[in-house]
């Protein structure tokens, strides 16, 4: 399924809203005090999403210290997502109707899994997930996940004024910002903000 909405570009406005987190209080986007890293992932328990999110979890304190709030969206129902995301230290949002996906121009396509660039991380993710499930540390994902398996990732960095300052639309299932790139983008956004305010 491809969306008809055009991709958002840097400088695009993001209307203020509160997103319902599966755990914890509602999440304001934009955040008045911090940048928001809005991540779009696939389905609850997705091994490939988990592989990437573990790298974010490991460096979450560093990301927060850089003035960035993590918000991760999945196209799963809240009840299913709650089974898989309880240990994540950031806001997790369920969007089973894909309203946010459509608004932000995030699409699904078979190339998410068919791109040869995706195959090595897919193999690593499946092997990692199988180990964790065997040890009882993770739950097995649904055999037929809500919203399908062809979701593409997307990343948006949104400033306190509600502008997209950077964005990435993934070309395959494991094509997202690594933490180092996120931190570099956040530092650039802060420098730009200070320059615009003449500080």
Closest CA to 43 of 5, 72, 86, 2: 72
pLDDT at 5 over 90: no
Residue 26 domain-assigned?
yes
Residue 54: half-sphere exposure toward Cβ, Cα within 13 Å: 13
CATH at residue 159: 3.40.30.10
Residue 6 domain-assigned?
no
Residue 1 domain-assigned?
no
Q: How many domains does the chain have?
A: 1
d(CA 166, CA 174): 18
Q: What burial class does residue 139 get, using C-beta atoms within 10 Å of its C-beta: 0-12 exposed, 13-18 middle, 19+ buried? A: middle
Residue 173 domain-assigned?
yes
Residue 5 domain-assigned?
no
Within its chain, how far is the Cα of 38 from the centroid? 6
CA angle 46, 48, 50 (to 5 degrees): 70
Residue 96 domain-assigned?
yes
* Structural domain that includes position 27: 17-196
Dump pLDDT digits (tens) for 59-104. 999 999 999 999 999 999 999 988 888 889 999 999 999 999 999 9
CB 182 within 8 A of CB 195: no
Residue 8 domain-assigned?
no
CB 132 within 8 A of CB 8: no
Dump pLDDT digits (tens) for 35-56. 999 999 998 888 888 889 999 9
Closest CA to 140 of 65, 196, 80, 191: 80
């Amino acid at each position: 399924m491809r969306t008809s909405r055009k991709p958002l570009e840097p400088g695009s406005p993001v209307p203020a809203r509160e997103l319902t987190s599966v755990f914890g209080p509602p999440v304001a986007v934009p955040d008045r005090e911090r940048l928001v890293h809005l991540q779009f992932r696939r389905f609850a328990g997705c091994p490939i999403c988990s592989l990437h999110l573990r790298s974010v979890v490991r460096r979450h304190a560093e990301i927060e210290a850089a003035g960035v709030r993590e918000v991760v969206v999945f196209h799963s129902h809240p009840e299913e997502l709650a089974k898989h995301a309880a240990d994540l230290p950031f806001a997790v949002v369920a969007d089973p109707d894909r309203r946010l996906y459509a608004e932000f121009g995030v699409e699904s396509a078979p190339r998410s899994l068919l791109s040869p660039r995706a195959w090595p991380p897919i193999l690593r993710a499946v092997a990692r997930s199988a180990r964790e499930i065997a040890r009882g540390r993770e739950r097995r994902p649904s055999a037929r996940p809500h919203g399908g398996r062809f979701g593409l990732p997307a990343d948006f960095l949104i400033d306190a004024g509600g502008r997209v300052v950077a964005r990435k639309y993934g070309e395959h299932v494991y094509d997202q910002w690594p933490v180092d790139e996120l931190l570099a983008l956040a530092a650039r956004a802060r420098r730009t903000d200070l320059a615009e305010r003449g500080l």
